[in-house]
Chain A
Amino acid sequence: MSQVTSVQADIASEDVDRAILYGFIGRMLQAAPTEEDLQAIRGLQADDTPVGQALAGLSTAAETTTAEKLLRAYEDLFIGLGRGEFVPYGSYYLTGFLHEKPLADLRATMSRYGIERSEGVSEPEDHIAALMQMMEGLISGDFGQVATLDEQRQFFVEHIGSWAGHFFKDLSATDTDAFYAAVGALGRVFMAVEADAFAMTE
């Protein structure tokens, strides 16, 4: 099993950054960050672009929190159906139920790309973190080859665009934790940029 590096020289720099951001946001939503992650995030130096400002907000929020605090916040926000503040699955966000058509549609797409869950994992695949990581993989070629822009657009429109923006907007407004609200703000900005950018080459 060979590890495929996400950042490849033959991918345009803005696409490398897209892959990095998708991966980064995915990891922030997959599990609480470690103290090392936080230290790194505190060191971010951002410019005054929309994405840069959102990263700056996250960096600021990281200053006043700890990994321990975020572990609890993560559980409060995302863990436990009906108990977490958010149920970050596409199917749930779009229909109010898990395992509905949006999940079935995603599984059909994943099967086309030869992507599947690890054995023993029972989480539905339409978790926001999984979708972010799938986009990262499509852009950086982790699934064998770099997906074309048309393929990326199709995946985004079919499985992410319809709900992720709403999810991130809701997350950005949470009072539960300032760090995760900043993750929400970053995701919201990024999803809007992605939607506009995809629309430019349709």
Chain B
Amino acid sequence: MTDKKTKDTADRRNFLKLAGLGTLASGASVVTGGAEVVAADADAGSGYRETDHVKKVYETARF
């Protein structure tokens, strides 16, 4: 990784952290009460599922 790329990546991470992303899941500071909740939502998956090794399907039954 070039120096510029390393710096860009670090800048991006810092930017996202300042915007409020990076501690939601851990619940460290941003969303203490909600961490459990939001993470539980995440555990439900994206709504897209692997059906076999090639095809991925998303479920839109609730649409």
List chain A positions with a Cβ less than 8 A from chain B: 1-7, 12-14, 16-21, 23-24, 26-27, 30-31, 40-41, 43-47, 49-53, 55, 59, 113-118, 121, 123, 127, 129-130, 133-134, 136-137, 140, 142-144, 189, 193, 196-197, 200-201
For window 46-63 of B, CB contacts with A under 8 Å fall at 46-51, 53-63
List chain B positions with a Cβ less than 8 A from chain A: 5, 8-9, 11-13, 15-26, 29-34, 36-51, 53-63
Q: Is the CB of A13 within 8 A of B47?
A: no
Q: Is the CB of B45 within 8 A of A4?
A: yes
Q: Is the CB of B25 within 8 A of A7?
A: yes
Partner of B50, one of A4, A18, A53, A140: A4
Please judge, given known A-B contacts A20-B25, A121-B61, A121-B63, whether A200 and B15 are in contact too, CB under 8 Å: yes
Q: Is the CB of B22 within 8 A of A17?
A: yes
For B24, the chain A residues whose CB sits under 8 A away are 16-17, 20-21, 51
